[in-house]
Chains A and B, each alone.
Chain A
Amino acid sequence: GAVVSQHPSWVICKSGTSVKIECRSLDFQATTMFWYRQFPKQSLMLMATSNEGSKATYEQGVEKDKFLINHASLTLSTLTVTSAHPEDSSFYICSARSFGQNSSPLHFGNGTRLTVT
């Protein structure tokens, strides 16, 4: 079945540095990918919708200059957390859906646990 790969799984960085997270669809093309953030014991929160070849669409309250999204190909989207701070520590998850399948479920990446010290 469809697989979404996310890298890295864990990252620890110092405050002020930037972290890039990759999300790849391995056996299907994804014109749209989604980025979520999940804090402990809370639900997944959609941060932004990543569109191949165009600008990402950010949810209200998500800073586009802080969370840079690039979707340069049909199989890769990246999320860069710029100038990370301890409050950015969270579980970041990407997801994708096969193109043209609105009623199909999302496939999730394995998530990236970011810890900012």
Chain B
Amino acid sequence: RKEVEQDPGPFNVPEGATVAFNCTYSNSASQSFFWYRQDCRKEPKLLMSVYSSGNEDGRFTAQLNRASQYISLLIRDSKLSDSATYLCVVTPTDSWGKLQFGAGTQVVVTP
């Protein structure tokens, strides 16, 4: 089993709709969680950190479920510019700095 798993998609989403997807992690001692966005042929860029209580940043909402060991990302009112691959990133406590990456979930927002 991979340490961090994501549904690769693609999730085809009509503009204005809501899309949500999860990321599961295997190490229960994982410490920090992040969602990154990666556009085609570009480097990943931080979208948001994920806090224990859940957090929201504009149209984006992230949740953490430690009991079930997954994090989620919800995008409301999808824009065409939201089309990208969303990477789930996890930091295990026993490996400073060595983030573990999911393979990414591709989101395609259509007009």
Residue of A with least CB distance to B6: A43
Interface residues of B in 13-49 (CB under 8 A from A): 31-32, 34, 41-46, 49
In the bound complex, how far is the Cα of B42 from the Cα of A110, in angstroms? 7
Q: Give which listed residue, B42, B49, B101, contacts A43 with CB less than 8 A.
A: B101
Interchain CB contact under 8 A, A108 and B97: no
Count of chain A residues with a beta carbon within 8 Å of a chain B beta carbon: 21
In the bound complex, how far is the Cα of B60 from the Cα of A38, in angstroms? 26
A-B contact count (CB 8 A): 50
In the bound complex, how far is the Cα of B98 from the Cα of A2, in angstroms? 19
Closest-CB distance, B68 to chain A (whole angstroms): 22
User: Which residues of chain B come closer than 8 Å to A32, judged between CB atoms?
Assistant: 96-97
Q: Give which listed residue, B34, B46, B96, contacts A102 with CB less than 8 A.
A: B96
Interchain CB contact under 8 A, B44 and A108: yes
In the bound complex, how far is the Cα of B84 from the Cα of A41, in angstroms? 12
Interchain CB contact under 8 A, A105 and B46: yes
Residue interface bits A17-52, CB-to-B below 8 A is 1, else 0: 000000000000000101000000011101001000
Closest-CB distance, B28 to chain A (whole angstroms): 17
Q: Give which listed residue, A34, A42, A43, A108, contacts B43 with CB less than 8 A.
A: A108
Closest-CB distance, B48 to chain A (whole angstroms): 9
User: Which residues of chain B come closer than 8 Å to A108, judged between CB atoms?
Assistant: 43-45
Q: Give which listed residue, A42, A49, A107, A111, contacts B97 with CB less than 8 A.
A: A49
User: Which residues of chain B come closer than 8 Å to A60, judged between CB atoms?
Assistant: none
Interchain CB contact under 8 A, B41 and A113: yes
A76 at the interface (CB under 8 A from B): no
Q: List residues of A whose CB falls within 8 A of some B CB.
A: 6, 32, 34, 42-44, 46, 49, 91, 93, 97, 102-103, 105-111, 113
| 13 residue pairs from A and B, CB less than 8 Å apart | A32-B96, A34-B98, A42-B103, A49-B98, A93-B44, A102-B31, A102-B91, A105-B34, A106-B97, A108-B45, A109-B43, A111-B43, A113-B41
Q: List residues of B whose CB falls within 8 A of some A CB.
A: 31-32, 34, 41-46, 49, 87, 89, 91, 96-99, 101-104
